[in-house]
Amino acid sequence: MDDNRSKIEQMRGLIATIKQADIAYFRDDRPIMSDRDYDVAVDLLKKLEQNTGVILSDSPTQKVPGEILESLTEVRHTRPMLSADKTKSVDDLVRFAGGRDVVLSWKLDGLTLVLRYDDGQLQQAITRGREGIIGEDVTHTVRTFLNVPVTVPTRESFEVRGEGVISWENFKKINDSLEEPYTHPRNLAAGSVRKLDPAESKKRLLEFKAFDLVTDLTFPTKTEQLDFLAENGFSVVPHLRLAAPSAGKVKDTVALMNPAGFEYPVDGLIMEYNDTAYGKSLGATGHHENRLIALKWKDELYTTKFLGVELATTRTGMVSITGLFEPVEMDGAKVSRAYLHNYNIFEQFQFGVGDTIQVYKANMIIPQVAENLTKSGTYKLPEKCPCCGRALSIQQTSGGTSQLFCDNPHCAAKLVQKFAHFCEKTRMNIEGLSATTLEKFIGHGWIRSFGDLYTLDRYKEEIINTEGFGVKSYERLQASIDKSRNCTLAKFIAGLGIPMVGRHAGRERDKCFGGSWEAFEQAIKDGFDFTSLPDFGATMHDNIYKWYADADEADLWRPLLDHITFIKENTIMNSTNNPFAGKNVVATGKLVNYTRDGIQTRLLELGAHPASSVTKNTDFLIVGEKAGSKLAKAQALGITTLTEQEFEDMAG
């Protein structure tokens, strides 16, 4: 009996831990433990309950987990919105199917929602909420989703259940720009749906994937039910019907549904009986309905050795921590790094270099550290910002976790936008450095000034090993960087990001100073009056002087001068590569960068023959805003039309 008592004590401890994790995960969208650790705790609790024969009233095994936000209105579900029974064994799916027709679908990893329609109109949308009984009203944000039908052809009332999700692609795009990035699209989706301001949630590019219908309208099969939803404009979870599948068929299909290639985050598969009446006859527990079962992927553990961490400063000053380990082969790919989501998680592992650790791919996609078997606790985190070298601090975030931060307001990591502007196509035209890539490179301290862009080869190995990079993309990047070493004064100045001083202004100066940087800089030193140039205002003039006097700015651009060779605009224009030389070119409509005379001059400089009307001898038509009959004529004659941007790109 004593033994039972200590087990019950252990159960109480587990219930408290799970409850705390539920609040962090469901209410705050900021998990404090991995799903794997959470599932281990729940499984252990279930085992102890079986073992002792005791189930406590507040046990999470007995109800649907969930928390609700006080700021949202509570709504009672018409029917309890339950969870799913889970297994990690495909054999259980084979047994579940038991020779019946089943439907296998992705178990989408987002926020479960119930949408009610009356008289063909979307009336209300609510979350699964507390115990699947009280949901939160989120109609205001669900209306901002990318794909929710607000009007449907069916007049009878019905409720549709589905998941609010964010695709991997959109997650990467949005998450990078957030002050405190989320660890997984699921948390971003849940946080975004439950925002009070619909304008905010609209930016999160949420999508609704329908997987169930709750209504008096009955369909004999699940597939007919899903077809009904599709016909009413819903995008339905991708699914497959398996007709009385053999064990082999179930196993093959499960193997085929590999989440690595799927565009939305998923955390398993759902198998449901196709015969809806049969499914219903099986009833439900307080936790799940028996008509379906969820397969969660087994986390295959791999043993390796901890080597250290890599820090990277982000544009908000937060410093991300990635654990590095001896490469291990997982699902045919070599993995040697796993993101450690915050400082607390790093601390918990008590790493030491050479410690034996176990790693896995969560839901077969995201590499994670599961455990440190050695726990030597000897590893010391670097104390300085990898980007600027300033001492780092540990700060509590609004989500309640701790993170490393660089407090230096001049830390280059905060200047991602500036570097992205410099690399843009119409400026230095360096391909392969998106804002996200730049953020990574800058965060590691590989780029601190514009000049460092031209010595990236110092980090060749590191870049090739960066996620999303490889030898090929590195070589492409270097080629593009090398090409940009020869550039015109106009593009160069446009790239520096002096407020209001863009390409057109740059070109005027290019002409004035003969394309020479020395002449331009000397002019500033001599107090040259830039307003004497055409279209050059007093503010632009002042901005140039302010920019030139700013020491922080100078630290960024001065190193560049060692790497750039200035070429005269005319030398490139008349190069044999110029596709306009000798061609008949017409411009029509309003152009952004040129006046009517301006474009004629530019075409002449390019060696083209500017013409005013379109004939069958015209080679190119440059099309500006509000183009009229000339465009129609060119199209009729099959003449190549170019936007102003395309014209610029081709002209070089």
Ligand X SMILES: NC(=O)c1ccc[n+]([C@@H]2O[C@H](COP(=O)([O-])OP(=O)(O)OC[C@H]3O[C@@H](n4cnc5c(N)ncnc54)[C@H](O)[C@@H]3O)[C@@H](O)[C@H]2O)c1
Find the shortest distance in angstroms from Cβ 537 to ligand X: 56
Residue 108 touches which of Zn ion, ligand X, none (CB < 5 to 8 A by kind)?
A: ligand X
356 membership: H or E segment, kind and range: strand 356-362
User: Which window, 34-42, 191-199, 357-365, 524-532, contacts ligand X (CB under 6 A)?
Assistant: 34-42
Q: Is residue 107 annotated as a catalytic residue, yes or no?
A: yes
Token duo for residue 507: 């070109």
User: What φ, ψ does residue 193 adopt, rounded to 5°?
Assistant: -65, -35
Query: For the window 369-388, what string marks contact with Zn ion as x by the rule CB under 5 A?
Result: ----------------x-xx
Decide: is 408 part of the binding site for Zn ion (CB under 5 A). yes
Q: Which does 387 bind (CB under 5 to 8 A by kind): ligand X, Zn ion, none?
A: Zn ion
Q: Which does 191 bind (CB under 5 to 8 A by kind): Zn ion, ligand X, none?
A: none
Say whether residue 159 binds ligand X (CB under 6 A).
no
Q: Per CB under 5 A, does 406 bind Zn ion?
A: yes
| 136: contact with ligand X by CB under 6 A | no
State the sign of the Cα–Cα–Cα–Cα dihedral 345, 347, 352, 357: negative
Q: Are 292 and 272 in contact (CB under 8 A)?
A: yes
Q: Considering 63, 107, 222, 414, which one is annotated as catalytic? A: 107
Nearest distance in Å: CB 135, ligand X: 12
Q: Strands (DSSP E) along 132-214, which ranges?
A: 134-136, 158-165, 207-214
| 392 near Zn ion, rule: CB under 5 A | no
Dist. CA 490–CA 510, nearest whole Å: 5
Confirm whether residue 452 is marked as ligand binding.
no
Cα 183 from Cα 365, distance rounded (Å): 13
Q: Does 38 bind ligand X (CB under 6 A)?
A: yes
Does the annotation place 36 within a ligand binding site?
yes
Q: Look-up: residue for tokens 């979350």?
A: 127
Q: Which of 14, 30, 31, 63 binds ligand X (CB under 6 A)?
A: 31
Please, are residues 519 and 509 in contact by the beta-carbon 8 Å criterion? Answer: no
Rounded (5°) CA angle 345-441-420: 125
Three-class SS string for 244-312? CCCHHHHHHHHHHCCHHHCCCCEEEEEEEECEHHHHHHCCECCCEEEEEEEECCCCCCEEEEEEEEEEE
134 interacts with Zn ion by CB under 5 A: no
By CB under 6 A, how many residues form the interface with ligand X? 24
Provide, rounded to whole angstroms, the least separation between the CB of residue 322 and ligand X: 20
Nearest-angstrom CA–CA distance, 201 and 310: 33
Q: Which two tokens stand for residue 522?
A: 């000397």
Q: Is 35 annotated as a binding residue?
A: yes
Crossing angle for the helix pair 185-193 and 168-175, to the nearest 10 degrees = 70
Instruction: State the minimum distance, in angstroms, from the CB of residue 279 to ligand X.
Output: 12
Stretch that binds ligand X, among 35-43, 391-399, 461-469, 515-523 (CB under 6 A): 35-43
**Residues that bind Zn ion in the complex, under the rule CB under 5 A:** 385, 387-388, 406, 408, 411
Supply the residues annotated as catalytic: 107
- Pick out the residues of the known binding site for NAD(+): 35-39, 83-84, 128, 163, 296
Give residues in contact with ligand X (CB under 6 A).
21-22, 25, 31, 33-35, 38-39, 65, 83-84, 105-108, 112, 128, 163, 211, 237, 267, 270, 294
